[in-house]
């Protein structure tokens, strides 16, 4: 199948396919006599796996690691388990960060119970007065 057919089957754009090829996640296809890319069922399966991993916010390095394990299908799947456990940890960290962000926003919102002139708004006053502590580097692996 050609790149447009693969894109349609995988529900993505041709640019996405080319990007994953350049990133080394999707193996380059053979080219036919007219120099068109010719993709097979294995490309579609791998592309779907990549896209599903991306939908779970996995990084390209995590996906490469999974694909590396997949390419050695007869080996133990423990590296895959460890990778997923680490990714779950990243998600837990991000959830905690988002919960703290929400709490900060709720506290800020409570500073202005009713509408007033912007110059007298408790939210603006609170934002101006906030002393933001130095935060450790972002806990999420996504940055």
What is the band of 131 on the pLDDT scale with cuts at 50, 70, 90?
confident
**Mean pLDDT of the chain, nearest integer:** 89
Report the SS3 class of residue 30. Answer: strand
* 6 neighbors 39 (Cβ within 8 angstroms): yes
Does CATH number 3.90.740.10 belong to domain 3-71?
A: no
Q: Which residues contact 31 (CB under 8 A, 6 or more apart)?
A: 37, 38
Average pLDDT over residues 20-49: 93
Q: Would the pLDDT of 77 be above 70? A: yes
Average pLDDT over residues 110-132: 81
Calpha distance 138→120 (Å, rounded)? 33
More confident residue, 74 or 95: 95
């Amino acid at each position: 199948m050609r790149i447009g057919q693969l894109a349609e089957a995988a529900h993505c754009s041709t640019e996405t396919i080319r990007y994953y090829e350049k990133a080394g996640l999707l193996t380059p296809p053979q080219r036919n006599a007219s120099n068109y890319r010719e993709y097979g069922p294995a490309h579609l399966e791998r592309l779907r796996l990549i896209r599903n991993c991306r939908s779970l916010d996995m990084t390209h390095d995590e996906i490469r690691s999974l694909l590396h394990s997949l390419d050695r299908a007869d080996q133990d799947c423990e590296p895959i388990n460890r990778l997923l456990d680490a990714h779950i940890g990243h998600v837990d960290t991000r959830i905690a960060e988002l919960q703290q962000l929400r709490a900060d926003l709720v506290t800020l919102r409570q500073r202005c119970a009713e509408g007033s002139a912007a110059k007298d708004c408790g939210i603006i006053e609170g934002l101006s007065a906030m002393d933001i502590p130095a935060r450790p580097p972002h806990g999420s692996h996504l940055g």
